[in-house]
Amino acid sequence: MASAPTQFFETSKLVIMTGEFLSDKDLSSYMSTCRALRTLCTPLLYRTLQLDTLTRHQKLPLSLEELEAWKRNINFIRSISLVHSVLDQYYPKELAVVAALATVTTIDRVLLELSDSLSPDTATSNEPATADLGGDLSQIKNETAITTASIPSITHSVIAPHAARMTLQPNNPIPGLLLPPLTNLTYFHYQYSAVEHPSFKTLDQNANVQVVQIVGLLRQSPHLKIIHLHDILVRDNMALEKFTRTLSVYTELKTLVLDIWAPDSWSDRVLAAVFFSCPESVKVLRIGLQSYIGESRRVAIAARTLEAPLLRQVPSLSNLAEFSLSGSYLPVMEDLLVMLEYIPNVTTLCLPRIRRPADVHLVGQIAVERCPNVRNLAQVSCWEDDSLSVLVPVFETAHFYNRECVLTLEDATVFPWASTRLTSLGLVIDLGEMYVPDLDWEDLTQEEQATLTLLDAFYSQIGVLTSMRKLTLQVLIGSEEEYDKNDFYIETPAYRKRCFPGMLKLGAGMRSKNRGWLECLSGLNKLEYLHGSFNVAVGYEECLMGQDEAMWIARYWTSLKSADFLCEDDMLVLVIL
């Protein structure tokens, strides 16, 4: 006889698989089968009734008698999944069936996926839009997840009015979305998912619909604690005012994640208005601001005349523990410094690329003074220019530092660590065209000797971080211009010893022919995770870690759990391991 765990997993799988091929006539026997299976294995974690009418074009029972039969036999079903194309003659009736099933007190979740590919209003869309509306199961039994597109008047009958969670991911705007008052809603997630990277034109056309729809949904849910809004375009003062006024009333809000698009001419105003509209209760604030040049000259001039918010009238965000600012918009130093005054207790700080490169270091120094409790520090950017060559100093209190911007060896070694208590470090290093031949120290050129000196200083500086648990070293191995999408390699002739696995070989130091810097990291005996960079197109033995290195690691890095040197799929600029 099969063991209990085997029975459990096989039974669960059987219930889900049989539900997929369920027809109307088999419903009664299916329920009986489930009841019989339930006696063998209790409880079933996932009891799912899945109806797929998108491919088999089956009709759901529509009569009251059949509906009552469903409700009588559904006592142990916890999840219902319906996939169906939007057909006018069936759609309202099917929604009514699902709405009736959602009222059954034993059902925790109803998932409805409706493809609108047959709808004349969305003929260009092939992916179903989604709207996930769920309930907090500690307070209410019903949790409803709905995928709908362009028939908002029907969704009112499906949504549980006591739902605590809602996720909307429409392929197209849902104008006039009618929802019941969701007064118990505590989680709201909206993401416009028409395309992976929405174009400015698409966003601009739907801007008013988006903002009005979102503001309308937010205003009827005064108890929201978590808000995620993605790909939202705020292009005029009226939309910005409605949006920020709505945000300011949430006295229970704890997490606010925003991904906003705004015209470049007044992105600074959008950033300031959103930041200073946050209620004092916010603990996590992440703002991704994408700026673009697309407005007419008349709109741009009008935007410049808008009054700035009265910043000094805003109370301090004393509860804010995490603040992250990212995106293509480059804030000026003055804006960042004002914001830092209002977040004195922040512990996680993510700084963006700053408009004037000379200000980067100054911002870091002032941030140390105004935010003394910072433990986690990061600087993010995907741009490659001179503004990335300035290092933000690590705070004395920092335990985590991650820099996705590219550093040269000179910039990475110009400052000593302000904190040697770092437990996690991530760096991206540009080694340029570094190539050092296997010659004695005296036979090297002055430039080659300087390169080795910097490399030795770099590894020695990392070696003093004896509390390190996670180390990520990435190497810039090429540019997009060097990358040929038709080939699986990057043409970088002088690469040989530029990858970190190669330079982390055992050796006799920089003055020897057999150079290696692995010994510099012998003090990292708490290291658990090591991630390096490696170009798989380079087959030189100098770039590989051999048996001697493996034995050394086993001896000195006794806490090591993972060391990854296998390339991921993304070969454009960085090979990250």
- Per-residue model confidence as pLDDT tens digits over 450-472: 888 888 888 888 999 999 999 98
Predicted pLDDT of residue 190: 78
In this prediction, residue 416 has a pLDDT band, given cuts at 50, 70 and 90, of confident
Nearest partner of 325 among 264, 253, 275, judged by Cα: 275
For 254, the token pair is 């704890």
Neighbour count for residue 532 (Cβ, 10 Å): 23
Neighbour count for residue 576 (Cβ, 10 Å): 18
Q: Could you give phi then psi for residue 443, rounded to 5 degrees?
A: -90, -5
Nearest partner of 378 among 334, 409, 347, judged by Cα: 347
* % residues pLDDT > 90 (the chain): 5
**Strand, coil or helix: 168:** strand
Q: Could you give phi then psi for residue 210, rounded to 5 degrees?
A: -60, -55
Residue 374 · residue 419 · CB < 8 Å: no
Residue 434 has pLDDT above 90, yes or no: no
**Strand, coil or helix: 496:** coil
Q: Could you tell me which residue, 435 or 347, shows the higher pLDDT?
A: 347
How large is the average pLDDT for residues 300-318?
50
Predicted pLDDT of residue 210: 64
CB within 8 A of 232, min separation 6: which ones?
Answer: 190, 192, 210, 211, 214, 258, 259, 260, 261
Predicted pLDDT of residue 230: 83
For 287, the token pair is 């703002």
Q: What is the dihedral of CA 61, 65, 70, 71, to 10 degrees?
A: 140
Predicted pLDDT of residue 283: 95
CA 476/CA 389 separation, integer angstroms: 13
User: To the nearest whole number, what is the mean pLDDT of the chain?
Assistant: 63
CA 111/CA 77 separation, integer angstroms: 13
Max Cα-Cα span within the chain: 95
In this prediction, residue 390 has a pLDDT band, given cuts at 50, 70 and 90, of low
Residue 257 has pLDDT above 80, yes or no: yes
**Lowest-pLDDT range, 77-81, 172-176, 485-489, 529-533?**
485-489
CA 337/CA 531 separation, integer angstroms: 34
**Strand, coil or helix: 260:** strand
**Lowest-pLDDT range, 55-69, 135-149, 347-361, 512-526?**
135-149
pLDDT tens sequence across 204-239: 555 555 676 677 778 878 888 999 888 787 877 777
Residue 565 has pLDDT above 70, yes or no: no
